[in-house]
Chain A
Amino acid sequence: MSAHSHLDGQLPHEPERATLEGRNKVLGFWLFLGGETVLFGTLFSAFLALRDQVGDGNPTSQELFKLSLVAIATVLLLTSSLTSVFAIQAMHRNQVKSMQLWLIVTVVLGLGFLGLEIYEFFHYVHEGHKFSTSAFSSSFYTLVGFHGAHVLFGIVWISLLIGQVYRKGLTVVTAPKVYVAGMYWHFIDVVWVFIFTVVYLMGKVG
Protein backbone atom coordinates (compact mmCIF):
# COMPACT_ATOMS: atom_id res chain seq x y z
CA MET A 1 0.00 0.00 0.00
CA SER A 2 2.89 2.30 0.49
CA ALA A 3 5.32 1.04 -2.11
CA HIS A 4 5.49 4.58 -3.47
CA SER A 5 7.55 5.74 -0.56
CA HIS A 6 10.12 3.09 -1.37
CA LEU A 7 11.11 5.02 -4.49
CA ASP A 8 12.86 7.74 -2.58
CA GLY A 9 14.91 5.28 -0.58
CA GLN A 10 12.65 5.19 2.44
CA LEU A 11 11.25 2.03 3.93
CA PRO A 12 7.51 1.57 3.37
CA HIS A 13 5.12 1.96 6.27
CA GLU A 14 4.87 -1.71 7.15
CA PRO A 15 8.08 -3.15 5.69
CA GLU A 16 7.13 -6.71 6.64
CA ARG A 17 4.14 -6.58 4.30
CA ALA A 18 5.72 -4.56 1.50
CA THR A 19 6.66 -7.53 -0.67
CA LEU A 20 4.77 -10.67 -1.63
CA GLU A 21 7.56 -12.71 -0.09
CA GLY A 22 7.17 -10.86 3.19
CA ARG A 23 3.40 -11.37 3.23
CA ASN A 24 3.81 -15.04 2.43
CA LYS A 25 6.34 -15.38 5.24
CA VAL A 26 3.85 -13.99 7.75
CA LEU A 27 1.06 -16.21 6.41
CA GLY A 28 3.30 -19.28 6.42
CA PHE A 29 4.36 -18.50 9.94
CA TRP A 30 0.75 -18.53 11.10
CA LEU A 31 0.43 -22.01 9.61
CA PHE A 32 3.56 -23.04 11.50
CA LEU A 33 2.12 -21.62 14.73
CA GLY A 34 -1.06 -23.64 14.15
CA GLY A 35 1.08 -26.78 13.98
CA GLU A 36 2.97 -25.72 17.10
CA THR A 37 -0.33 -25.27 18.93
CA VAL A 38 -1.26 -28.86 18.17
CA LEU A 39 2.22 -30.06 19.15
CA PHE A 40 2.06 -28.39 22.56
CA GLY A 41 -1.56 -29.54 22.88
CA THR A 42 -0.49 -33.18 22.65
CA LEU A 43 2.25 -32.61 25.24
CA PHE A 44 -0.27 -30.92 27.53
CA SER A 45 -2.73 -33.79 27.13
CA ALA A 46 0.00 -36.31 27.98
CA PHE A 47 0.91 -34.30 31.07
CA LEU A 48 -2.71 -33.92 32.19
CA ALA A 49 -3.29 -37.64 31.80
CA LEU A 50 -0.16 -38.63 33.74
CA ARG A 51 0.37 -35.89 36.29
CA ASP A 52 -0.92 -37.90 39.25
CA GLN A 53 1.09 -41.03 38.40
CA VAL A 54 3.89 -40.39 40.83
CA GLY A 55 4.64 -43.86 42.12
CA ASP A 56 5.74 -44.81 45.64
CA GLY A 57 7.90 -42.35 47.53
CA ASN A 58 8.62 -40.07 44.60
CA PRO A 59 8.11 -36.31 44.97
CA THR A 60 4.66 -35.02 44.01
CA SER A 61 4.05 -31.69 42.35
CA GLN A 62 2.89 -30.19 45.66
CA GLU A 63 6.16 -31.10 47.36
CA LEU A 64 8.32 -30.13 44.40
CA PHE A 65 7.21 -26.83 42.91
CA LYS A 66 8.47 -23.55 44.26
CA LEU A 67 6.06 -20.88 43.12
CA SER A 68 8.39 -17.96 43.85
CA LEU A 69 10.82 -19.20 41.20
CA VAL A 70 8.02 -19.72 38.69
CA ALA A 71 6.67 -16.24 39.41
CA ILE A 72 10.03 -14.62 38.67
CA ALA A 73 10.38 -16.64 35.45
CA THR A 74 6.87 -15.56 34.42
CA VAL A 75 7.64 -11.89 35.00
CA LEU A 76 10.83 -12.20 32.94
CA LEU A 77 9.10 -13.84 29.99
CA LEU A 78 6.08 -11.50 30.08
CA THR A 79 8.36 -8.48 30.13
CA SER A 80 10.41 -9.84 27.25
CA SER A 81 7.20 -10.15 25.25
CA LEU A 82 6.54 -6.46 25.85
CA THR A 83 10.07 -5.46 24.84
CA SER A 84 9.74 -7.41 21.61
CA VAL A 85 6.57 -5.40 20.88
CA PHE A 86 8.62 -2.25 21.40
CA ALA A 87 11.21 -3.61 18.94
CA ILE A 88 8.55 -4.09 16.25
CA GLN A 89 7.13 -0.62 16.93
CA ALA A 90 10.60 0.86 16.57
CA MET A 91 10.92 -1.04 13.28
CA HIS A 92 7.69 0.53 12.05
CA ARG A 93 9.10 3.95 12.90
CA ASN A 94 12.28 3.03 11.04
CA GLN A 95 14.40 3.49 14.16
CA VAL A 96 16.89 0.70 13.67
CA LYS A 97 19.06 1.46 16.69
CA SER A 98 16.15 1.46 19.08
CA MET A 99 14.83 -1.74 17.47
CA GLN A 100 18.18 -3.47 17.98
CA LEU A 101 18.30 -2.29 21.57
CA TRP A 102 14.85 -3.69 22.37
CA LEU A 103 15.74 -6.97 20.67
CA ILE A 104 18.87 -7.22 22.83
CA VAL A 105 16.78 -6.56 25.96
CA THR A 106 14.39 -9.31 24.80
CA VAL A 107 17.27 -11.77 24.36
CA VAL A 108 18.73 -10.91 27.76
CA LEU A 109 15.37 -11.44 29.49
CA GLY A 110 14.99 -14.73 27.62
CA LEU A 111 18.41 -15.81 28.85
CA GLY A 112 17.36 -14.96 32.40
CA PHE A 113 14.27 -17.12 32.01
CA LEU A 114 16.33 -19.97 30.63
CA GLY A 115 18.85 -19.68 33.47
CA LEU A 116 16.06 -19.94 36.03
CA GLU A 117 14.62 -22.99 34.29
CA ILE A 118 17.99 -24.75 34.20
CA TYR A 119 18.47 -23.99 37.90
CA GLU A 120 14.97 -25.30 38.59
CA PHE A 121 15.55 -28.58 36.74
CA PHE A 122 18.89 -28.97 38.47
CA HIS A 123 17.19 -28.51 41.80
CA TYR A 124 14.46 -31.06 40.96
CA VAL A 125 16.96 -33.70 39.91
CA HIS A 126 18.70 -33.11 43.21
CA GLU A 127 15.36 -33.75 44.95
CA GLY A 128 15.08 -37.11 43.20
CA HIS A 129 12.77 -35.94 40.40
CA LYS A 130 14.62 -37.29 37.36
CA PHE A 131 13.31 -37.74 33.84
CA SER A 132 12.61 -41.44 34.35
CA THR A 133 11.45 -41.26 37.99
CA SER A 134 7.73 -41.48 37.24
CA ALA A 135 5.17 -40.93 34.51
CA PHE A 136 4.60 -37.52 36.08
CA SER A 137 8.28 -36.58 35.88
CA SER A 138 8.65 -37.77 32.27
CA SER A 139 5.62 -35.85 31.05
CA PHE A 140 6.66 -32.81 33.10
CA TYR A 141 10.17 -32.67 31.66
CA THR A 142 8.92 -33.31 28.14
CA LEU A 143 6.39 -30.49 28.25
CA VAL A 144 8.36 -27.86 30.17
CA GLY A 145 11.66 -28.86 28.59
CA PHE A 146 10.16 -28.58 25.12
CA HIS A 147 9.04 -25.07 25.94
CA GLY A 148 12.52 -24.28 27.26
CA ALA A 149 14.02 -25.57 24.03
CA HIS A 150 11.72 -23.22 22.14
CA VAL A 151 12.95 -20.32 24.26
CA LEU A 152 16.54 -21.32 23.51
CA PHE A 153 15.78 -21.50 19.80
CA GLY A 154 14.16 -18.07 19.94
CA ILE A 155 17.21 -16.60 21.71
CA VAL A 156 19.57 -17.99 19.05
CA TRP A 157 17.25 -16.89 16.23
CA ILE A 158 16.78 -13.30 17.47
CA SER A 159 20.50 -12.98 18.21
CA LEU A 160 21.34 -14.00 14.64
CA LEU A 161 18.76 -11.51 13.33
CA ILE A 162 20.35 -8.72 15.38
CA GLY A 163 23.63 -9.54 13.67
CA GLN A 164 22.05 -9.65 10.22
CA VAL A 165 20.24 -6.33 10.63
CA TYR A 166 23.50 -4.84 11.92
CA ARG A 167 25.28 -5.94 8.74
CA LYS A 168 22.57 -5.44 6.12
CA GLY A 169 20.37 -2.78 7.66
CA LEU A 170 16.61 -2.80 7.88
CA THR A 171 15.21 -3.61 4.43
CA VAL A 172 12.08 -5.18 3.00
CA VAL A 173 14.06 -8.45 3.14
CA THR A 174 15.17 -8.32 6.76
CA ALA A 175 12.03 -6.66 8.19
CA PRO A 176 9.71 -9.69 7.71
CA LYS A 177 12.25 -11.88 9.49
CA VAL A 178 12.27 -9.63 12.55
CA TYR A 179 8.47 -9.40 12.50
CA VAL A 180 8.06 -13.17 12.31
CA ALA A 181 10.60 -13.71 15.11
CA GLY A 182 8.54 -11.33 17.23
CA MET A 183 5.41 -13.40 16.56
CA TYR A 184 7.32 -16.54 17.56
CA TRP A 185 8.39 -14.91 20.82
CA HIS A 186 4.80 -13.94 21.69
CA PHE A 187 3.69 -17.48 20.94
CA ILE A 188 6.31 -18.85 23.36
CA ASP A 189 4.97 -16.45 25.96
CA VAL A 190 1.38 -17.58 25.36
CA VAL A 191 2.42 -21.23 25.77
CA TRP A 192 4.12 -20.32 29.05
CA VAL A 193 0.87 -18.78 30.33
CA PHE A 194 -0.72 -22.21 30.00
CA ILE A 195 2.31 -23.98 31.47
CA PHE A 196 2.39 -21.91 34.64
CA THR A 197 -1.38 -22.25 34.95
CA VAL A 198 -1.80 -25.95 34.19
CA VAL A 199 1.52 -27.39 35.38
CA TYR A 200 2.58 -25.24 38.31
CA LEU A 201 -0.50 -23.57 39.78
CA MET A 202 -2.89 -26.49 39.24
CA GLY A 203 -0.13 -28.85 40.35
CA LYS A 204 0.17 -26.91 43.58
CA VAL A 205 -3.59 -27.05 44.13
CA GLY A 206 -3.48 -30.82 43.53
Chain B
Amino acid sequence: MAANHTTHSEEPAKRHKHEGPRKHIVAYIFSMLLTLVAFATVIGGEINASFTYILLLVMAVLQVIIQMGFWMHMKDRGHLFPIVGILTGVFVVFTIVIMAEYWTWW
Protein backbone atom coordinates (compact mmCIF):
# COMPACT_ATOMS: atom_id res chain seq x y z
CA MET B 1 0.00 0.00 0.00
CA ALA B 2 2.77 2.31 0.89
CA ALA B 3 4.73 1.43 -2.19
CA ASN B 4 1.91 2.68 -4.41
CA HIS B 5 2.31 6.13 -3.07
CA THR B 6 5.92 6.40 -3.92
CA THR B 7 5.68 5.39 -7.56
CA HIS B 8 3.02 7.89 -8.54
CA SER B 9 4.11 10.92 -10.42
CA GLU B 10 1.96 13.97 -10.86
CA GLU B 11 -1.07 13.46 -13.03
CA PRO B 12 -1.75 16.55 -15.06
CA ALA B 13 -5.49 16.31 -14.52
CA LYS B 14 -5.38 16.84 -10.77
CA ARG B 15 -2.10 18.57 -10.30
CA HIS B 16 -2.14 20.99 -7.44
CA LYS B 17 -0.27 24.21 -7.53
CA HIS B 18 3.08 23.59 -5.89
CA GLU B 19 5.17 26.50 -4.81
CA GLY B 20 8.57 26.56 -6.43
CA PRO B 21 11.86 26.86 -4.57
CA ARG B 22 12.41 30.43 -5.71
CA LYS B 23 11.00 32.39 -2.80
CA HIS B 24 12.76 30.09 -0.34
CA ILE B 25 16.06 30.76 -2.06
CA VAL B 26 15.27 34.49 -1.87
CA ALA B 27 14.56 34.11 1.87
CA TYR B 28 17.87 32.26 2.22
CA ILE B 29 19.77 35.00 0.41
CA PHE B 30 18.15 37.66 2.60
CA SER B 31 19.04 35.69 5.74
CA MET B 32 22.63 35.41 4.53
CA LEU B 33 22.81 39.13 3.77
CA LEU B 34 21.46 40.06 7.20
CA THR B 35 23.97 37.69 8.81
CA LEU B 36 26.77 39.18 6.75
CA VAL B 37 25.83 42.73 7.75
CA ALA B 38 25.71 41.73 11.42
CA PHE B 39 29.13 40.07 11.32
CA ALA B 40 30.66 42.86 9.22
CA THR B 41 29.43 45.49 11.68
CA VAL B 42 31.13 43.77 14.59
CA ILE B 43 34.35 42.83 12.75
CA GLY B 44 34.61 46.35 11.31
CA GLY B 45 34.17 47.75 14.81
CA GLU B 46 33.88 51.34 13.62
CA ILE B 47 30.46 52.15 15.04
CA ASN B 48 29.90 52.82 18.74
CA ALA B 49 28.73 50.00 20.97
CA SER B 50 25.16 51.01 21.75
CA PHE B 51 24.34 51.66 18.11
CA THR B 52 25.89 48.30 17.15
CA TYR B 53 23.66 46.59 19.73
CA ILE B 54 20.53 48.09 18.23
CA LEU B 55 21.67 47.28 14.70
CA LEU B 56 22.40 43.65 15.65
CA LEU B 57 19.00 43.22 17.30
CA VAL B 58 17.22 44.68 14.28
CA MET B 59 19.13 42.29 11.97
CA ALA B 60 18.23 39.31 14.18
CA VAL B 61 14.54 40.22 14.42
CA LEU B 62 14.30 40.80 10.66
CA GLN B 63 15.93 37.46 9.99
CA VAL B 64 13.62 35.63 12.37
CA ILE B 65 10.57 37.22 10.74
CA ILE B 66 11.79 36.14 7.30
CA GLN B 67 12.60 32.60 8.41
CA MET B 68 9.42 32.02 10.39
CA GLY B 69 7.31 33.61 7.68
CA PHE B 70 8.68 31.66 4.76
CA TRP B 71 10.20 28.50 6.20
CA MET B 72 7.77 27.80 9.00
CA HIS B 73 4.86 28.89 6.77
CA MET B 74 3.59 31.44 9.25
CA LYS B 75 2.61 33.86 6.50
CA ASP B 76 0.33 31.20 4.99
CA ARG B 77 -3.38 30.99 5.59
CA GLY B 78 -4.66 29.31 8.77
CA HIS B 79 -1.63 30.07 10.92
CA LEU B 80 -3.28 32.47 13.33
CA PHE B 81 -2.96 30.06 16.25
CA PRO B 82 0.82 29.55 15.83
CA ILE B 83 1.32 33.30 15.47
CA VAL B 84 -0.65 34.06 18.63
CA GLY B 85 1.20 31.24 20.43
CA ILE B 86 4.66 32.42 19.40
CA LEU B 87 3.86 36.05 20.24
CA THR B 88 2.66 34.96 23.69
CA GLY B 89 5.94 33.05 24.10
CA VAL B 90 7.95 36.10 23.03
CA PHE B 91 6.03 38.27 25.50
CA VAL B 92 6.78 35.81 28.33
CA VAL B 93 10.45 35.67 27.31
CA PHE B 94 10.81 39.45 27.27
CA THR B 95 9.25 39.65 30.71
CA ILE B 96 11.68 37.01 31.98
CA VAL B 97 14.73 38.73 30.48
CA ILE B 98 13.81 42.16 31.85
CA MET B 99 12.94 40.71 35.25
CA ALA B 100 16.19 38.74 35.51
CA GLU B 101 18.28 41.76 34.55
CA TYR B 102 16.38 44.02 36.94
CA TRP B 103 16.66 41.57 39.82
CA THR B 104 20.35 41.03 39.34
CA TRP B 105 21.64 44.51 38.69
CA TRP B 106 19.34 47.21 40.02
Name A's B-contacting residues (CB within 8 A). Answer: 2, 5, 9-11, 13, 27, 30-31, 33-35, 37-38, 40-42, 44-46, 48-50, 67, 71, 74-75, 78-79, 81-82, 85-86, 89, 92-94, 96, 168-171, 183, 186-187, 189-190, 193-194, 196-198, 201-202, 204-206
Contact = CB atoms under 8 A, between A and B. Distances in A.
B71 A85 contact: yes
Contacts of B14: 5
B100 A46 contact: yes
B60 A197 contact: yes
22 contacts: A2-B16, A5-B14, A27-B81, A30-B81, A30-B82, A34-B88, A37-B92, A38-B92, A41-B94, A44-B93, A49-B105, A71-B35, A74-B35, A81-B67, A85-B70, A85-B71, A94-B5, A169-B2, A170-B2, A171-B5, A197-B59, A201-B42
Interface of B: 1-6, 8-11, 14, 16, 18-19, 21, 24-25, 28, 31-32, 35, 38-39, 41-43, 45, 49, 52-53, 56-57, 59-60, 63-64, 67-68, 70-72, 81-82, 85-86, 88-90, 92-94, 96-97, 99-101, 103-105
B32 A78 contact: yes
